[in-house]
Structures are given as structure tokens and as C-alpha cells.
Structure 1
Amino acid sequence: MAAAAAQERGSLLLLVVSGALLAAGGGAWWAGAAGAAEILWLAAGLLGLAFAIATTARAARERRPTVDVIAVLALVGAPAVGEPFAGAVIAVMLASGQALEARASARARRELSLLVQRAPRRARLRAGGTVRDVPAEDVVPGDVVVVAAGEVVPVDGRLLTPAVLDEAALTGEPLPVERAPGEDVRSGVVNAGGQAELVATATAGASTYAGIVRLVESAQASSAPFVRAADRVAVLFVPLTLAVAGAAWLLSGDPVRAVAVLVVATPCPLLLAAPIAVVSGISRAARLGVVVRGGGPLERLAGARVVLFDKTGTITQGRPVVSAVLVPPAGGAGAPSRDATARAAGLDADEVLRLAASLDQMSPHVLAGAIVAAALRRGLTLSVPTGLEEVHGHGLRGRVDGVAVQVGRAGWVGGDAGAQDAWVRRVRRRAALDGALTVFVGVDGRTAGAVLLVDPVRADAPRTVRVLRAAGVRRVVLLTGDRWDTARAVGRVVGVDEVVAEQDPAGKLQVIRSEAGHGTTVMVGDGVNDAPALAAADVGVALAARGATASSEAADVVLTTDRVDALADAITVARRARRIALQAVVVGMGLSLVALGAAAGGLLRPAVGAVVQEGIDVLAIAVALRAVVPPRSRRRLSPADTQAATELWAEHDAVLRVVEQVRAVADALEEPDDAAADLGGARALLELLETDLVRHEQHDEAVLVPLLTRALGGHDETAALSRTHAEIEQEVVRLRHLLDGLPDAEATADDVVELRRVLYGLYAVLRLHDALERETAAGLVPHGA
């Protein structure tokens, strides 16, 4: 970086001095002092000659090919044939080309450099009632870190207080996001709200930002194969130029033509335009939350033909999410309500979740964090537990609001028997079908409920696969060590070409080698066990949004945003940068060859040729700089639409509880024998569906669908969303007609079967609609994924 800065200062100084001498000579010539003008122009040429000799010598010491020898010959030949003005113009051309390259590279590297410069150096720790300032490297896991408004978070941690964070430096998203207590926060983000506190979960050196800085430094140190090829072609241009210059002199007998050929022959479009376009592409990717480790990975990414995804943490979110909270039925239907209803333990789903989360908020277990997050999303108020005790291999117990609460295995949390055993079996069967984990909750020695947790597919994953195919990727493979049935289900949802499951790291390497026959391979992963596969692929892509891992250190490309669709953005940027580099070279070198022929034919004098070549250089660099400018705005909502969508999504999360009650009521209905079925739970559910769910879906259709249509640029993207809104409303109407025709005293077994069929059908449509809505809104609506 220091050498680049010195080179930039030197080229700027030469540009200023040579430009001043050129202008002064022009003034003297205009005033009739031809002798003084020639002296001034000769001085400018000599300065350019000294600079060209210095750069040629430096290239020779570094054993690096250079074409500056052409500039040296031109600067010597111009005054020798009585063209000092041409020599001065060549000096200005040489200086301006170097200055333009330095300035363009500085602009293109700005985002990467800002990442390095923003690395936090200090941290403030709270110990008791005092706060002390320490170097960031002194922070250890477990320290309580205080982050004031406007400060950069120095280490990865878990929030103790709410926070509003500006994550633009890592994700490229301009709007601040709200984070709740218990959520993980990454180093490098800026506190955009009031003072916040967090518990450090990593040292500064092992935190996200430190890993990104290391990636950036390596990204700035390499060049692309295309750039190296351009350098080699430029060197081949030297003997061609000398041959043409010699032929022009011999055939015409005029040495001025030879000098004119030398003047227009500098291949600056090859030397400057190609690297500027590549570095501009790296810069553009950085602004989108993608760090590319140099020009080589960028060019290989542009040629991607096969993309292999790991499953956990890449195609799926990689962390558990509460999918349902189940409670034992009281006799049959298990009537849903906004208030607590009579259950086997006297608690409804929200209260079961609140008690479990109150206990779990003191546990470091990953499942505990998911339960706490689910409770906070539902707006539940957590209490401080007492008498906390962790029983290894079983779970956690303590007292919450004077009630004995246990969270863990089914046989440990309650001593229930009979009907409760049957309910536990049903819960486990449902968990097996859904691919979920179960955590049972006991209250005062009785099983009060169960929490189901899943690792959901990322909302943006299916669209990512479609965009990759549109970008030219021929084959998409899901490569995982997970079970075949689980991997196949995920692969079917995402739409991959092949699923390869139950693979250890060695097996993954073998698969990557075999896929190399289909073209350039890209491996995407996020775990430590993905590092060998990332290194083996032509391009390794790591998701490092949750911290620096071995995979991010082994990767060529790192996604600092927690969205896998950033990979599609990166491939698009890489291909555009390569295309622009080629355009700049073709345009620039094509014009240079035309000028070369004109000079050899005597149509361009050395002075005019120098001016023409300067214009060609500026044009080629301008074409290359297009790579740093986005081709068009990314899909984004306006601030007003973002606010409206955020409010709708909060309402959406609240309505999801009603969706789960549809499944719970259907599960609780049992076929009666001679006794009439108790349909009270279904009638109470219908009231919630009509007052909460249908109203929300109508609000979505009136507000969310139009704003998504504006952001996505057409109705095609939202047509399916509108259709499912209509299907949901129609199914609720069918449920109303069915229940209106079923008096409780006359319900038969067939009636209950039909009721369960309608409820399960409605539940399936609701789940499909939720997945579709999240996929459509992913990356647009805050918390929409």
C-alpha cells in the first residue's frame, strides 16, 4: 500500500510538472519565442524519459515484463527528429496514464481499504460498576463489552441489551437493523442506537472482522489470469511495434514515421484497463457483502459451471428455529384461545414457551437460544429463574415465578403415564416426519408441552438456484454428510440436480474431483469440516456471517452477509467485470492498431499521434471503470415500503401461532364412537381464523403484494402469492360452511373425518404460503427470511 501511494504521488508530480512545461512551451510558441518553447518542451520530454527509464529498471529488477521500452525509444526519438513537442506530449501521456491507473485503482479498492481501516482497535469492558478502556486484543470470551452509540463492535458476542446496528460494512445493506437480547452480533458492525452491552464469545483475533481483514489483505495482493495474459500480450506488442517502425522507416526513408509509430504504440489499454476492471469488480462485490480474494478467484468465479452446496448452514439456516409448541389435549379438541385454556397441566402454548424460555435464558445451549428467541419474537415477558440446575444428559430445571419447571427429555420432565404416553408418542412421530428435534417442558412434575425445533431451508435458497442457472451454471449439487432422506427432502425443495449425502470430508473431495469434468467447480460451505472441500474446488465460497471459521480461511470467496443469494450476485459481478475488461482491451487495442497503421502510413505526425494515443488510453480506462458502477439498482424497497413491510412481517409472525393451532386442533380431533364429538376447539379456531388470519392475508394482498411487485419489477413474481391468499380465504369459508352444518349433538364419525381433512388441507396451504411468502420477500423485507 505504501509503495502504491508513493507511485501515485510520483506520477502526479510528473503530470503536474510536465503539464506545466508543455503549457509554458505552448505559450512561448504562441508569443513567437520558438526557441524558448522547444527548450521547455525538451525539458518535459527529459523528465518523461527519466521516469520511463526508472520504471523500466524497476520492472527489470522485479523480473516483470514491461513495455516502457517503447516509451523510452519514443522519448529519445522525438527530439532527435526535431519533434520536441511530441516528446513533451508523450511525457504528459505517460504521467497521466500512470496517474489515471493509480487513481482508478484507489477508487476501485476503496471499499476493501475502508474495511481494513475500520478494524476496531479499542474496547470498553464492564467489571462490576466500573468501565475500563482496553486494547481490543485483550478481550476474552465472557467479558462484558460496552459499545457506545457510533462505536464499532470490537469482538463477536451475544447481546445483553437491545441494540440498533448498522451492518452495512459487512452485508452491504444500508438500513440499520434491530437486534434483541440474546442475539449474536458480529465484530465490525456499528452501534446505530443507544449504548449496548454484549458478552464476548470470541477474541478479537478470532472474531468476524479480523478474518475479513485478513481476507481483504490477501485479495489486494493478487492478480487475475486475464490480467497476466494481458501483460504477456502487451510484451508481444513490443517486437511488433519495433518491426512496424523499422519497416515504415525503411520503406519511406523518413525517420519521423518510425517515431510516430513508437508514439502511438504504447499498449495502455492492455496494461491499465484489464487490471482496473478486475479490481473494480472486486470492489463492487465487496459493496454487496462478498469478499473476493484477488483477481484469480474473481475470474474463476466468472467461469463457474458446477456449484456444490453443503446443506447445514448453507442451504439451511444452520441453527435451530422453533417450528411449533405443542400441549397435551384436554379430553379432545384442545380449544385454542388468546387466553390460557385448560390443559393437562393447565397451560397454553404461549405460557409453556414463556416458562421454558425463562429457564433457558441462562443456558448457553444452542437449543436454549432458539427457544428464548422464539419467545421474544412472540412478545412474551420472561422472568428471572431461581434454583437453576443442569442435569447432564437430561436437561435443565429450576423455578420460574414460583413454579417448578423442567426442560429436557420426555421421561425426565414428567412422570405422566397412560394418555400422556400416547401424546408423547404422537409428538415424537410428528417430529420424525418433520425432521424436528423435541424439547419437552414439565411443570410441577407433569408434562406441560413440547417444543419442536427444525433447521429450516433458507428462504432465498430456491431463488438462488434459479438465478445461478440463469447466470450460466449448468449443474447444482447438494453435497452433505447428513442423512439421505433429510438431504433429499431439502434438495427437492431447493431444486438441485443431484443430492450426494452421507459423505465424510474425504468423500466430499472425491465428489468434487469427479464434478470437475463438467467444468469450473464452486463449493459453498460454512463449517470447519468444509475447509478441505473449499480448498479442493476451483473456487471455495464460505459463509462467514456468523464468525471467522476454518472454512472462511480456506475459501477464495467469503460471503459476509447471511444470505446465500449473495453468491449469485458475486457470479454476476465477476462475469460483468471480465466482460468489461475484455471490452476495454478490444476497444483500446483496436483503436491503437488503427493509429499504428495511420502513423506508419504517414497520416499521423508524432505530436498528433501522441494526443490521439492519450485519448485512446483515457477511453479504455473509462470503459474499464464501468465495472465499479452497478449496472442497475439491486432489488430494494423504498423507505416507506420498508416500514410498511416491517409492520406486516411482525403481524405475519404473530399469525403463525394461529397456523400451528390449525394442526393442533386437527391432531386433537378423534373419531367418536357413539358419543358426539366435541367441536368447541374447532369453532374457537374458526373465530381466530376469520378475525386474525383472513384479515392479515387481505392486508398482505392489499399492501405487501403491490410493494413486492414494485420491487421485483412485475406481477409474475407475486402471482403465486396472490393465488395462495385466495386459496386460504376459500378454505376458511369451507370450514365455516362445514361447522355451521355440524351441530355438536349430531356430529358423526364421518363428520369428524371430513373436518380433520379440511383442517389438514388448510394447514398444508398455510405452510406452503408461508414458504412462498418468505422466498418472495427474502432479501427485501427485514426479517422476511
Structure 2
Amino acid sequence: MRIALVLLALVGLSTGLVAQAMGAAWATWAWTASTGVVLAVLLRQIVTSLMRGDIGLDVVAALSMGGALALGQSLAAAVVALMYAGGQTLEAFAAGRARREMSALLARQPRTALRREPEGLRDVPISELLPGDCLLIRSGDVVPVDGVVETGRAILDQAMLTGEALPVTFEVGASVVSGTINAGDAFTLKADRRASESTYAGIVRLVETAQSEKAPMARMADRYGLGFLLLTLMMAGGAWAWTGDAVRALAVVVIATPCPLILAVPVALVSGMSRTAGIGVLVKGGAALEMLAKVEVLVIDKTGTLTHGMATLSAVQPLVGHNEAAILSIAASLDQVSVHPTARALVTAARGRSVALRQPVDVVEEPGEGISGAVDGRRVLVGGPRFMGRYGIVFPDRTTGQTASGVPSVGATVLVAVDGIAAGILGFSDPLRREGGDALAALRETGIRRIVLATGDRKDVAEAMVAGLPIDAVAADLDPSEKTGLVRAEHDHGLVMMVGDGVNDAPALAAADLGVALGARGAAAAAEAADVVLLVDRIDGLARAMRIARRARAIALQCVFAGLGLSILGMVAAAFGYLTPLQGALIQEGIDVAVVLNAMRVLGGKD
């Protein structure tokens, strides 16, 4: 439709110019006819916008074309029609370019998969895939669901999710995520979740949300656009009243058509969102991108962010009346229903030691606190000291670097109680990520002034783990409500960004000015509450995303002030009679093209 309008306006203008050169009287008719069609389409768009409650600067374009035709300035009207149609096409092209990374994420969503069945391979819709299905992933295929490598070696291109160019190799038994591309030989994948629950499906939903949201700066453009419309009408009316020359008033209106405010801002912001998506950081809309450019305080959860979030059982200390195997069995049996990283580590360790697990009943989990339930008719509690304290269960003193029974408290300590009595102490380790310190230093350089570590671990353990890192404060022994309170308190120091990855982080993420969740495969509640989702479980891309966001916002503001300033100068010149309507149309189109091209600079450059 846009291309057709541009061609029509171009043909009408060219035909009229040829007729004028030949001295033919029908030049005016050619210009009027082509302008009339463009004006009719524009009026329809204006009516549709008004029905939605939007008053845009398209009204100025309609006044320009209609006024030019009414005043016999048919050539100027034809030029305005061509410039308007061309501007709309340029904006659509620029927006399409800006969305290229996000659109690529959507376009690569697989529709079918090769499933192994008794009678052989069968191509089935991915909506029919179930956990446990074995799939053949051929070379070049997009992995359709999250799963585990069953046979063969998976060499996966994760560039679309991580921005990293080099493929990664996964051996048998390794977990892989959907949305990656098989860059090696075919392998067999055993699905461990439905396609609708997989990483890539979550990414697609997040992209769709991001594309539908409107940024505060874009809403600001709408508000200022209305003000600019009133300013245009006042200047045009003033010029007419002062000189009695309607053509001079028309020139003022023409040079205000269309406005760089509504062209450049969306292009710059969407370009920034596209750039961040290309490095594996999905920003859920222009509002989040703007906030990413302005945050000053970072509150970061330890587990899964600065650490790998893959706790390993390092020690088991049974207390009086229990043995190591019994403690492992009863605690891991209860933790089977939990998604907490420590619970998963405990279950994995128990199975690795061939400990028999039973089915728990009456299970109640309190995120970030602990879990309770019945195993073989016995009431079992697994959790931290605060959780045990609520039930009046006393454990050996743990104020030193190790438990009273000799269990080292490296990383985290989990307590186990049976039938209301302290039964055992479990020690877990979760080493810091190698890239964690560098990532925090990079965030400092990007503009983060204060970094606070938030953790449910003991303060001495947390401080020992992050010693030497650029962290200003450590807040330890926090439950989910206390994390939320910490985030709110940090607002006194500036705009707050909270980074977390678990269900218990969701309230804190929602309370922050900007919530960042690690990994689309992580807890759904965290990803839903967050404004930004890192598509892989690493924070080293966050500083780069902040630089992109800051550059996008700066270029958007640059476009607004430069474009509006030039437009207003042109309107003043037109009001004083220095520009004709035709000259005004040509100058304004030059301004519009310049600001849109400037906005597209966000897609390039270094970040």
C-alpha cells in the first residue's frame, strides 16, 4: 500500500511536470488527482486514529495538501503528497531494519520436528511433542524443544541467543536449549519439556510483548506532537492575520509536515531493542530500554548470577539418631518437588549415590525459605535457620565459618528436621563465575554507581565469597520480602536495577525500576516480572546492553531536538515570507530523511 502510494504520487508529479513543460493545461489536473488519492488515504488514517483517541501530526499533512489544493498551489500539493508518502515508506523501512534481530528470533521458530517412533521417523508438529520423546536433530535444524543429548555429539550455534559466534559442543547427557542451530552432525535429543514450555517459546512470547509496548519517549512524542500541531496552527494563523497572505500561512503548515518527532524516536528505540536482542539481551519494550539507559544502582542476587546457580553437595552431617544415608534419603525425597537449585543439587547427589527416594505428600514450599511435607509418614522440614526457627527447632551454633559438627559452610548450609527434631546439616558449594568480577567492573564503567549483593546466605559466607569484587554492600540472610524491601530502600540512591533468576526474586524484580531475569529457561515467574531477560544465564552481556540503550536514547533525543529546531526555524522563515510552500516541502523532507537516517545509526557503531 505504501509503495503504491509513493508510485502514484511520483507518477502524478512527473506527469504534471511534463505537461507543464509542454504548455498543456492538464498539468494541474495530474497534480490534483494524485494528491487527492494520497489525501483520501491519509484522511482515512486520521479518522481511524481519532476513533482510537490518538491525535497525530498526520493532521498537519492533511491541512498542507488540502490547503495547497484550495489555494491553487497544486504543484506544492503534489510535492507534499510525494514527500508524505515517501516519508511513511522510509519510516516503515527504517522500522523494519530496526526490528531485524527481533524479527529473526520470531522467524526461526520451528514448526515441525522429526520424532523417532516404532515404525521409524515421523515429521510431527512441535505442539505434539511430549517430555521423553526422542527427536532427530539434523545438521542445520533449529532445536525445537529443550532437552538432553541422547546420542551423538551436539555442536550448536547459539549466536542468536548469546551473540557469540563460535559453536558450543555438548556431549551425551548434556542439557541443550531450544532455538539453537545444529552446526554439526545429526544427533538425537530427548525432550524434557513441551515446546510451549521451552526456552524458545518463552523468547518468542517475550519478543511479541516487546514489539507491542510503547516507550515513554514515544508517548512523549505523542504529547509534544499535539503541542507542535497547536504551535503550527498558531504560527500559520498569525502569519495569515498579520499579512493577509494565505499562501504564507500554507508555507508554515507545509514545512511542519511531517514531524521528525514521530519519525525518529520509534526508529531509534526499536533499533536499540534490536541490537540488544542480537547480543542475547531481550528488552521488553521501549520503556525498559529507556530505563536501562538511566539506572544507577544495581541490586544483584548471588545464586545463579554471580555464581553458577548449580550448587553441589559438599558435606552431610547427620545429628544424633540419624545416619548419612537416612538424611540424604529423607531430605532428597522431599526436595524432589522443588525447583530450587539447591534442591535439584541434593536430589542429583542422592541419585548419584544410589540412595532410594520415596514419594512425598502434603508438600508446602515457601520460596526462599524452605519446604515441608511427609515422607513415609514422618514430618520433614528442609530449609534455612529462619525457617526452622519458626517451628522452634534448635540446631548447633553456626556462627563460625563451619558448623559445630564440622560441616564446612562453603556456599550454603541447609538444615533437615524430622518430626520436629534437628536431624542433619547439609553443606553445599556454588563457586563464583569466572566472568562475574569483570562483568561488575564493566557495569561500573557503564554508569552504575552503587552495587549491592542480595542473598539468603549468611553474611560471613557471602562476604567471603565476594571479597575483592567491586561491591559496595552485602545484604545477607534475606527472605523474598526482605529482598523486596532492600530494593525499595535502595531507591534513595537512584534508579534501581535488580538482577535475579529465581521464583523468590520475582517480587524484588517487580519492585525495582528495572528488573533483569537471567535465562528465558529460568523461573517463569522471574521472567514474567522482569523488564529485561538475558537469554543465557550470564550477566556479562548486561553492560554492553546498557551502552546500547544509552546510545539509542541519546540519538533519539538528538533527533528530536535537532529535527524540531530545524522545523521551527523553517516555520519562522516561512512566516516572514522567505520560503514558498514548494520550498518548505522540499526542506522539510530533507530534515525528515536526515533525522530518520540519524536514528538508524543506532544499528551500527561500537558499543
Q: Does 1:195 align with 2:186?
A: yes
Q: Which residue of 2 aligns with 1:572?
A: 547
Q: Which residue of 2 aligns with 1:57?
A: 47
| Cα distance change of structure 1 residues 389 and 481 upon mapping to structure 2, 3 Å threshold | closer
Q: Does 1:625 align with 2:596?
A: no
Once the two structures are superposed, residues 652-682 of structure 1 have per-residue CA deviations (whole angstroms, 9 ceiling, x without a partner) of xxxxxxxxxxxxxxxxxxxxxxxxxxxxxxx
**Match for residue 14 of structure 2 among 23, 29, 35:** 23
Task: Map residues 329-368 of structure 1 onto 2, 5 A cutoff.
Answer: 366=345
How far apart, CA to CA, are the structure 2 residues paired with 1:85 and 1:392?
A: 85
Q: Give the deviation of 1:119 after TM superposition.
A: 1.5
| Cα distance change of structure 1 residues 185 and 40 upon mapping to structure 2, 3 Å threshold | same
Q: Which amino acid aligns with 1:229?
A: M
**Aligned residues of 1:211 and 1:548 also touching (Cα < 8 A):** no
Q: Which residue of 1 aligns with 2:177?
A: 186
TM-score by length of 2: 0.81
Q: Which amino acid aligns with 1:490?
A: M
How far apart, CA to CA, are the structure 2 residues paired with 1:293 and 1:615?
A: 33
Q: Does 1:306 align with 2:281?
A: no
Q: Which amino acid aligns with 1:38?
A: T
Q: Does 1:543 align with 2:508?
A: no
Q: Which residue of 2 aligns with 1:355?
A: none
Q: Does 1:391 align with 2:388?
A: no
Q: Give the deviation of 1:581 after TM superposition.
A: 0.2
**Aligned residues of 2:60 and 2:258 also touching (Cα < 8 A):** no
Q: Give the deviation of 1:170 after TM superposition.
A: 1.1
Q: Give the deviation of 1:75 after TM superposition.
A: 1.1
**Aligned residues of 1:234 and 1:271 also touching (Cα < 8 A):** yes
**Aligned residues of 2:158 and 2:167 also touching (Cα < 8 A):** yes
Q: Which residue of 2 aligns with 1:554?
A: 529
Q: Which residue of 2 aligns with 1:752?
A: none
Q: Which residue of 2 aligns with 1:94?
A: 84
Q: Does 1:432 align with 2:432?
A: no
Once the two structures are superposed, residues 735-761 of structure 1 have per-residue CA deviations (whole angstroms, 9 ceiling, x without a partner) of xxxxxxxxxxxxxxxxxxxxxxxxxxx
Q: Which residue of 2 aligns with 1:758?
A: none
How far apart, CA to CA, are the structure 1 residues paired with 2:136 and 2:543?
A: 37
Unaligned runs of 5+ in 1: 1-9, 325-363, 373-384, 394-425, 439-451, 635-785
| Cα distance change of structure 1 residues 197 and 370 upon mapping to structure 2, 3 Å threshold | farther
| Cα distance change of structure 1 residues 511 and 163 upon mapping to structure 2, 3 Å threshold | same
Is the deviation greater in 595-604 or in 549-558? 549-558
Q: What SS is found at the alignment partner of 1:205? A: helix
Q: Which residue of 2 aligns with 1:517?
A: 492
Q: Which residue of 1 aligns with 2:507?
A: 532
Q: Does 1:482 align with 2:457?
A: yes
Q: Give the deviation of 1:194 after TM superposition.
A: 0.8
Q: Give the deviation of 1:131 after TM superposition.
A: 2.8
Q: Give the deviation of 1:585 after TM superposition.
A: 0.9
**Aligned residues of 2:198 and 2:521 also touching (Cα < 8 A):** no
TM-score by length of 1: 0.63
**Match for residue 232 of structure 1 among 218, 223, 226:** 223
Once the two structures are superposed, residues 431-472 of structure 1 have per-residue CA deviations (whole angstroms, 9 ceiling, x without a partner) of 72754899xxxxxxxxxxxxx973221222212222222222
Q: What SS is found at the alignment partner of 2:56? A: coil
How far apart, CA to CA, are the structure 1 residues paired with 2:52 and 2:509?
A: 32
**Aligned residues of 2:215 and 2:286 also touching (Cα < 8 A):** yes
Q: Give the deviation of 1:368 after TM superposition.
A: 9.0
Q: Does 1:280 align with 2:300?
A: no
How far apart, CA to CA, are the structure 1 residues paired with 2:554 and 2:302?
A: 32
Q: Which residue of 2 aligns with 1:43?
A: 33
Q: Which amino acid aligns with 2:47?
A: A
Instruction: Kindly name which structure, 1 or 2, has the bigger radius of gyration based on alpha carbons.
Output: 1
Whose helix proportion is higher, 1 or 2?
1
Q: Give the deviation of 1:118 after TM superposition.
A: 1.5
| Cα distance change of structure 1 residues 555 and 320 upon mapping to structure 2, 3 Å threshold | same
Q: What SS is found at the alignment partner of 1:132? A: strand
Structure with larger RCO (C-alpha < 8 A, sep 6+): 2
**Aligned residues of 2:452 and 2:473 also touching (Cα < 8 A):** yes
Q: Which residue of 1 aligns with 2:394?
A: none
**Aligned residues of 2:293 and 2:547 also touching (Cα < 8 A):** yes
Q: Give the deviation of 1:559 after TM superposition.
A: 0.4
How far apart, CA to CA, are the structure 1 residues paired with 2:439 and 2:349?
A: 26
Q: What SS is found at the alignment partner of 1:391? A: coil
Q: Give the deviation of 1:250 after TM superposition.
A: 2.0
How far apart, CA to CA, are the structure 1 residues paired with 2:291 and 2:497?
A: 9
Q: Which residue of 2 aligns with 1:670?
A: none
Q: What SS is found at the alignment partner of 1:584? A: helix
Q: Give the deviation of 1:126 after TM superposition.
A: 2.6
Whose strand proportion is higher, 1 or 2?
2
**Aligned residues of 1:322 and 1:371 also touching (Cα < 8 A):** no
Once the two structures are superposed, residues 400-440 of structure 1 have per-residue CA deviations (whole angstroms, 9 ceiling, x without a partner) of xxxxxxxxxxxxxxxxxxxxxxxxxx9x99972754899xx
Q: Which amino acid aligns with 1:472?
A: G
**Aligned residues of 2:520 and 2:527 also touching (Cα < 8 A):** no
Q: Give the deviation of 1:475 after TM superposition.
A: 1.2
How far apart, CA to CA, are the structure 2 residues paired with 1:485 and 1:196?
A: 46
Aligned length: 524
Q: Give the deviation of 1:127 after TM superposition.
A: 4.3
Q: Give the deviation of 1:90 after TM superposition.
A: 0.7
Q: What SS is found at the alignment partner of 1:506? A: helix
Task: Map residues 157-196 of structure 1 onto 2, 5 A cutoff.
Answer: 157-160=147-150, 161-196=152-187
Once the two structures are superposed, residues 713-739 of structure 1 have per-residue CA deviations (whole angstroms, 9 ceiling, x without a partner) of xxxxxxxxxxxxxxxxxxxxxxxxxxx
**Match for residue 64 of structure 2 among 63, 74, 79:** 74
Q: Which amino acid aligns with 2:238?
A: A
Root-mean-square deviation (CA), in Å?
Answer: 2.7
| Cα distance change of structure 1 residues 572 and 486 upon mapping to structure 2, 3 Å threshold | same
**Match for residue 599 of structure 1 among 574, 588, 592:** 574
Q: Does 1:215 align with 2:190?
A: no
| Cα distance change of structure 1 residues 208 and 548 upon mapping to structure 2, 3 Å threshold | farther
Q: Give the deviation of 1:560 after TM superposition.
A: 0.6
Q: Does 1:146 align with 2:121?
A: no
How far apart, CA to CA, are the structure 2 residues paired with 1:549 and 1:141?
A: 18
Q: What SS is found at the alignment partner of 1:291? A: strand
Is the deviation greater in 17-26 or in 480-489? 480-489
**Aligned residues of 2:454 and 2:476 also touching (Cα < 8 A):** yes
Q: What SS is found at the alignment partner of 1:492? A: coil
| Cα distance change of structure 1 residues 219 and 241 upon mapping to structure 2, 3 Å threshold | same
Once the two structures are superposed, residues 243-263 of structure 1 have per-residue CA deviations (whole angstroms, 9 ceiling, x without a partner) of 111121222222110110110
| Cα distance change of structure 1 residues 80 and 436 upon mapping to structure 2, 3 Å threshold | closer
| Cα distance change of structure 1 residues 248 and 435 upon mapping to structure 2, 3 Å threshold | closer
**Match for residue 613 of structure 1 among 572, 581, 588:** 588
Q: What SS is found at the alignment partner of 1:523? A: strand
How far apart, CA to CA, are the structure 2 residues paired with 1:323 and 1:285?
A: 38
How far apart, CA to CA, are the structure 2 residues paired with 1:615 and 1:207?
A: 47
